[in-house]
Amino acid sequence: MKFIIIGKNIEVTEGLREAVENKLGKLERYFTSDTEIHVTLSVQKGRQKIEVTIPVKGDIIRSEQESNDMYVSIDLVEEVIERQLRKYKNKLIARHQEGGNFKHEFYEGDEASEDDNEIKIVRTKRFGFKPMYPEDACVQMELLGHDFYVFCNAETDEVNVVYRRKNGSFGLIEPELCQEMPHYCGIFFPFDTIPSAFSRQSPPDNRNLPPQAQPVRSFLL
C-alpha cells in the first residue's frame, strides 16, 4: 500500500510515520499494493486527531479518531476501519465483484460479515426550496435546530449542504464530478430522501453572520 501522510500543526516525525505505517499496514491483507492511504495528522486545542481516507473504485473508506495521544488515535482509527470492512463485507463484494483495490483473499476469505441488518430507507420526503446563499442556509438551519441543511445555492444553481462542524463552525458541501464515475460521487442527498424536518420556507435575507457562522467550504471526495 502507498501511504501519503501529512501533518497540520504537528511535525510528522519518523516515529509517527512508522507508527502509522505499522498500524495501518495491518490493512494490507484487505487491499492491493497499489492502494493509496491518505493520512492527515493534526492537533487542535490539545486534541490529537488522525484522519484516514482510502479511495477504492467507486467508494471511499474513511475514518477519523482523536484523543489526548496521537499514538492512541492511530490505534483507534485502524480498529474502526477493520470493523467497517467486516461489517460491510457483503455489500462491498456485491458492489465491486472481483478486482479493484481489494485482494482476492478478501472476497474468498472465511471471515464472516457482520452485516446482519439490511439497510432500509423507511421514509421518503419531498420538499421544494428556493435558491439561497450559503450564509442564509446556515441561518435557516439554525432556525430549524438541525445539524445540516440541503439547499439550492443561488451562486451556482447547484444542490449544496451546509452543516455544523464539531468545533461549532459551519461547513459547506459542494458536488464535485468524479472522472471515474458519470455521476456525483461521495455522500450526497437526493431530493426525495431529505429528512422530514426540513421546512419549505426560505430564510430571511440575512448574510451578516458572525465570523464563526461563516461556512467553511469542503468538497465531496
**Residues with pLDDT less than 50, the chain:** 112, 115, 180-213, 217-221
Domain boundaries in the chain?
2-108, 134-219
Q: What is the pLDDT of residues 10-51, one digit of tens each?
A: 999 999 999 999 999 988 888 888 889 999 999 988 899 999
**CATH code of the region 134-219:** 3.30.505.50
Q: What is the pLDDT of residue 71?
A: 94
Q: Are 63 and 81 in contact (CB under 8 A)?
A: yes
The residue type found at 216 is V
pTM of the prediction? 0.56
Q: What is the pLDDT of residue 205?
A: 46
Would you identify the CATH topology of the domain 2-108? Answer: Double Stranded RNA Binding Domain (3.30.160)
Q: What is the pLDDT of residues 191-207, one digit of tens each?
A: 333 333 333 344 444 44
Cell of 55: 479511495
Q: What is the pLDDT of residue 218?
A: 42
